[in-house]
Amino acid sequence: MSDAELSFTPPPWPHDSKPVAYELVAFQLRTAILAGVYRPGDAILRGRVAKLLGVSLTPVREAMRTLEAEGLLRITPQLTVLVDVVHRDEPRELLAATLILETYAARELTARGRDIGELESLQRSMRELVADPSPGGRVRFVDLDVAFHRGIARLAGLANVELLLGRLRNRTRILVSLDELTEERRAVVLDEHEAVLSALRSRDPAAVADAVRMHVVNRAGRWFKDHADYLRTLEIDDPRT
């Protein structure tokens, strides 16, 4: 095993409910990838992961299929498992698509006037993790962040948009080091979420679109500075008008 693998401590399951075996493995393997134990392009051996996490091969295989669906892993025709690589020009495409879809979903949710209690609950759970310095706590924070944005689409009744947003956000996660997800940056994410929630409560479509744009553009500025200016100039018309 590599030094990174040997030094990795699998994080505990963050929920009260008992996980299915593959869910725990997926959470722990996701944490290892995002913590840099495995880098983009690295091959991951099923047997080595099973030994590292103390499980059989069956939940490892299922977990790897889950992470492939999330866009973190790629399984080749020869069944080699690789940490997927985000190519040089891909972040701009991912961020632009995220901005377009999240703006659309938020506008739809505003128009339908549905309760946003689920989003407020996710926000409270994220706030509890702001100061957690552990890799598991940071990964859990990002998991909840993805759930927050997928939740906007789900509450708007946009199942396909929800799936697309999950994949888009997971693709960009590969490029962000957990070390960069400082307590200060997590607090800023929550402030921007609060602006989105406030706009949703107001049911003002223009305010909602502005809050979502600010959040996505600021996220790009934090992690992908070369693409933030492009997002600021991107025109997004309301498809319902």
Position with higher pLDDT, 204 vs 9? 204
pLDDT in tens, 10-29: 777 877 788 899 999 998 88
Structure tokens at 90: 């891909």
Q: Return d(Cα 182, Cα 178) in angstroms, integer.
A: 8
Instruction: Report pTM.
Output: 0.78
The answer to whether domain 3-83 has CATH 3.20.20.70 is: no
Q: Is the pLDDT of residue 119 over 70?
A: yes
Percent of the chain whose predicted confidence (pLDDT) is above 70: 89
Give the SS3 label for residue 201: helix
Q: Is the pLDDT of residue 158 over 90?
A: yes
Quote the CATH superfamily of domain 90-233.
GntR ligand-binding domain-like (1.20.120.530)
Pairing status of strand 81-83 against strand 73-75: antiparallel
Percent of the chain whose predicted confidence (pLDDT) is above 90: 49
Residues 6+ apart with CB under 8 A from 30: 67, 70, 72, 139, 143
Residues 6+ apart with CB under 8 A from 6: none
For residue 102, give the DSSP letter.
Answer: H
pLDDT in tens, 38-53: 888 899 999 989 988 8
Domain ranges of the chain: 3-83, 90-233
